[in-house]
Structure 1
Amino acid sequence: MNFSLFFVHFTWVTLAFAILFPNAASAATPPKPQNTSSSVKVPDYLNPSPNPLQFPTKPQEVRIQQTVPISLAQALELAQRNNRDLQVAILQLERSRSELRESQAALFPTLGINSNVTNSGNGFTSNSSQASTSFNGSAELNYDVYTGGNREATIQAAQEQLRVNELNVESQALTIRLNATTQYYNLQQADEQVRINRSAVENAQASLRDTQAREQAGVGTRFDVLQAQVNLANSQQELTNAISQQQIARRQLATLLSLSESADISAADPVQIAGLWPQTVEQSIVQAFQNRPELQQQLAQRNISEQRRRQALSQLGPQISLAGNYNLLDRYNDGVSITDGYSLGLNGNLTLFDAGAARARADQSRANIAIAETQFASQRDLIRFDVEQYYSQLQSNLNNVQTSSVALNQAREALNLARLRFQAGVGTQTEVISAENDLTRAEGNRVAAILDYNRALANLQRSVTFRGSR
């Protein structure tokens, strides 16, 4: 047999394989999702270093150089682009694609070639014969013709794992969007709290000036001045605490967005209602069941366990493989031409007794199937509760927005009347201080009501996976 005959056999095997598995080549390279570029523009200097292992070693490298106001849309863009958890989920998805390609390699035969050159003789001190040099080469082809369903189950399990990781990327993106939105609202609330407390300090300073002027005019008392001074000190302390909370909220959002070490951010958007929810609670529950990636993940995990069960049972069936070998031998200077040979055969294997190991593995996978089904039901109930909870919060916070707006106008009017009464000598300083505190509390309640509504809306969008919110 020569090389041409060997390649004729190899070509025949390849053609037969192509006829038996016409979709194998296309299945080996699964399509990747297309990346869509966002139209939201963010400053490049907010992005972190591309080297994840880099860390600063000098104080000036971590000193905040500038504070940049960003919108919620820019914060979401930065979160999707830079968040480390999402990057890990994407890397896990790429790894599962490679694992799928590895499992699909079993659809093809394996071909190996090896060769060696050998020089041999009787020893260095013997002259009885000359040393001889020979060349030996071989090519081997192997293909598993029948595996009892193990190969197909392995590929399908890898496909389901790829689906799990795709859903995990989607779930991580939704969670990161929710976290970024919530922390942006937290920063807005911290900013508003600083503004409200600054206004309270200004009101307290104005009241102190009024009481001091009345004392100097002989129509006020030292007690009123002391009350105003204590009220001013309390307002200043609350302002200091609010500024500290504002700094913490900024750094929390910056950490989530994985910003540059020298950049800080502030909220650029005004505090206002983010929008209205267009669906009833029943429609929201049904849409959540259809869209939530967590439910699809549980179904994929169940399918993986089913394929693992098939893999275990396949070990009890026959295993048939095809093996082909071609050898080439040439001993130099022996007067004999090149010799070659080949072999082609089928190998069969059947496990008659394995002490129940394969069925035990199948029973383990069957238990995992039941676990996945139970977790699916539990996740479904939790999703319904989330929708109902945030829907209820959305409605109550909307009512609170309306109530707090009315209360804020009333508090402003009450403070004006209290000051006029105090200046006319028919009111007391205590009434003015109480009205100022009521105004501060009313402003805080209105901001809290609006942002609590926005948080409930963001959580409801996450619970339903509302397509319009992406």
Structure 2
Amino acid sequence: MNEVKDIKVVFICIVSLLVLYTGSVLALDSLTLKEALRAGLENNSNIKQSHLEVEKSEYDLELAERNWYPTLDLKSSYTRLEEAPPELDFTTLKPSEGSQNSYNTQLTLQQTIYSGGQIGLGIKQAEKGLTLAGLQTEQEISEILYNIIEAYYNVLMAAERVEIEEEALKVVKEHKRIVQSSFKEGVALKTDVLQIEIKEGESEQSLQNARNQLHLASKNLANLIGRDEQDFQLVSPDIQAAVELDLERLYQLALEKRPELNMITVNKEIVETNIEMEERSHLPRLALAGNYSWQGSELEFDDGSWSISLSGSLSIFDGGKSSTTEKKYQKELSRLEESKSDLKELIRLDIESKILTARENRAGIELKELNLDKARENLRLEEMRYQEGVGTNIDVMNAQTTLKQTKIGKMQAEYQYQLDLFELLQKTGQLTGYCEEVITNEK
């Protein structure tokens, strides 16, 4: 009776654990590629820092524009004298005792009239700085987007490989059952049993390796999007890249849209502005100043005195610093131009290489599809030959390995082809706009 109760308790515990496990699996959220990209953009610290740099550049621009604004200063002081100074009474023309209090107040308004172009050029520099910060943010976003896409596809590939390895292990176990049955009937050798047992161990190890790779791939994706790797389950990508594999067209798009190239262009413009500022450093500067001051023994502002002055300054000789600085900036221009030329060549070569890889993977998908049908048929025939006693155990295991490798190769080619297209979008500066369009313009 007690044994029956114990069995019931164990059964209830097992059922409860199964329910809890099933509930946790069903609780997993399905994570689409669009949702992963949104989460990555919202949670990535590098992108947050880039947006802060843009905001900082906006303040720099505002500060540069405010250099045209007038300045207004108020200065006031109070002095307590040890002895009151004598004052002249103009009615009696006799001296009288004054006050020990002394107040001094001064109000000054100053407005720049002409800065030799320095303020205008400073505003221009700040505008270029803001543009540069925006391009740096765009580059950061593009890299993050591709990293998330690549991580997403890596998880899908790893998950599908686990399924292939599990299926392959089932095939091996089934073949092991046949071999063991044949051995008991005396129609198979002991070496056949040992060989299939070795193969089974290799398949189990390969499956464990695939599961480890899936765990690491999921963890990498989770880190990129700021999620717990256990709280989501991926679905087929809801974003597909569409790219025409035309080298010249893609290269021209890259020249127009690549943030790195545009950043070099903006940096050149900043250096050119610096050169112009040095050239204008010898121009005069004019400022208008208005002053109102009052002094007395009471804190009053009547009967004060005012003045207006126009001041100018001109740098006559600076020890050759400006000319030397201009030469330094000219060298920097040459360096930037050389860097841009090298980057163009690298971009063209990179795009051409990726186009060739994409074409290879696209052709490989069709070839591996045909090979997959052949590998399935080959395994079926080898298993029949072995059961009929005209084939060998080694031939069956080789056929099993070929089928598994063909499945993995086809799967990888399909996913890698899509990654090639996304990478081409990234290399041509289109990925940010492409993903923004498909993510935000949903119906």
Taking structure 2 as the reference length, the TM-score comes to 0.84
| 1:172 corresponds to | 140
CA contact (8 A) 2:293 2:305 kept: yes
1:379 aligns with 2:343: yes
Distance in structure 1 (CA, Å) of the matches to 2:279 and 2:215: 60
* Structure (1/2) with the larger helix percentage: 2
Distance in structure 2 (CA, Å) of the matches to 1:188 and 1:398: 18
- Which one of the candidate residues 254, 257, 279 is aligned to 1:291? 257
CA contact (8 A) 2:219 2:229 kept: no
What's the offset of the Cα at 1:237?
Answer: 0.6
What's the offset of the Cα at 1:146?
Answer: 1.8
What's the offset of the Cα at 1:377?
Answer: 1.7
| 2:303 corresponds to | 339
| 2:150 corresponds to | 182
Q: Which runs of 5+ in 2 are unaligned?
A: 1-26, 85-95, 437-443
CA offsets per residue over residues 215-249 of structure 1, 9 Å max, x none?
11121111111011000000101111111111111
1:114 aligns with 2:75: yes
Distance in structure 2 (CA, Å) of the matches to 1:461 and 1:332: 76
Distance in structure 2 (CA, Å) of the matches to 1:337 and 1:398: 86
Distance in structure 2 (CA, Å) of the matches to 1:273 and 1:310: 48
Report the secondary structure of 2:236's partner residue: coil
Kindly name which structure, 1 or 2, has the bigger radius of gyration based on alpha carbons.
2
CA contact (8 A) 1:111 1:141 kept: yes
CA contact (8 A) 1:387 1:463 kept: yes
Distance in structure 1 (CA, Å) of the matches to 2:342 and 2:288: 48
1:458 aligns with 2:419: no
Report the secondary structure of 1:315's partner residue: helix
Question: Once the two structures are aligned, what percentage of the paired residues are identical?
Answer: 26
Distance 1:417 1:199, change over 3 A: same
| 2:16 corresponds to | none
- Which one of the candidate residues 440, 444, 468 is aligned to 2:404? 440
What's the offset of the Cα at 1:469?
Answer: 4.9
Structure 2 counterpart of 1:304, one-letter code: I
Report the secondary structure of 1:278's partner residue: coil
What's the offset of the Cα at 1:69?
Answer: 3.5
217-226 vs 109-118, which moves further = 109-118
| 1:53 corresponds to | none
What's the offset of the Cα at 1:307?
Answer: 1.0
Distance 1:146 1:273, change over 3 A: closer
Report the secondary structure of 2:77's partner residue: strand
List aligned pairs for 1:140-219, cutoff 5 A: 140-219=108-187
- Which one of the candidate residues 13, 22, 37 is aligned to 1:76? 37
Aligned length: 399
| 1:267 corresponds to | 234
List aligned pairs for 1:51-90, cutoff 5 A: 68-90=29-51
RMSD: 2.5
1:231 aligns with 2:199: yes
Report the secondary structure of 1:343's partner residue: strand
CA contact (8 A) 1:415 1:435 kept: yes
Distance in structure 1 (CA, Å) of the matches to 2:166 and 2:422: 29
Distance in structure 1 (CA, Å) of the matches to 2:175 and 2:406: 19
Distance in structure 1 (CA, Å) of the matches to 2:329 and 2:305: 47
Structure 1 counterpart of 2:426, one-letter code: R
1:392 aligns with 2:381: no
Q: Which runs of 5+ in 1 are unaligned?
A: 1-65
Taking structure 1 as the reference length, the TM-score comes to 0.80
CA offsets per residue over residues 190-236 of structure 1, 9 Å max, x none?
11111111112111111111111111112111111101100000010
CA offsets per residue over residues 322-365 of structure 1, 9 Å max, x none?
222111233139xx994311121122212222110111112222
Structure 2 counterpart of 1:168, one-letter code: Q
What's the offset of the Cα at 1:275?
Answer: 4.8
What's the offset of the Cα at 1:267?
Answer: 2.3
CA contact (8 A) 1:121 1:131 kept: no
Distance in structure 2 (CA, Å) of the matches to 1:401 and 1:79: 30
CA offsets per residue over residues 24-48 of structure 1, 9 Å max, x none?
xxxxxxxxxxxxxxxxxxxxxxxxx
Distance 1:385 1:245, change over 3 A: same
| 1:5 corresponds to | none
Distance 1:451 1:262, change over 3 A: closer
Distance in structure 2 (CA, Å) of the matches to 1:279 and 1:413: 35
Distance in structure 2 (CA, Å) of the matches to 1:458 and 1:218: 57
CA offsets per residue over residues 74-114 of structure 1, 9 Å max, x none?
11111122111111111111111101111111111111222
178-187 vs 137-146, which moves further = 137-146
CA contact (8 A) 1:187 1:266 kept: no
CA offsets per residue over residues 356-409 of structure 1, 9 Å max, x none?
011111222222222222222222222222221211111111001111111111
CA offsets per residue over residues 307-330 of structure 1, 9 Å max, x none?
111222322222222222111233
CA contact (8 A) 1:322 1:346 kept: yes
Distance 1:276 1:101, change over 3 A: closer
Distance in structure 2 (CA, Å) of the matches to 1:104 and 1:448: 55
- Which one of the candidate residues 404, 429, 449 is aligned to 2:368? 404
Report the secondary structure of 1:354's partner residue: coil
Distance in structure 1 (CA, Å) of the matches to 2:196 and 2:230: 40
Structure 1 counterpart of 2:152, one-letter code: Y
CA contact (8 A) 2:106 2:291 kept: yes
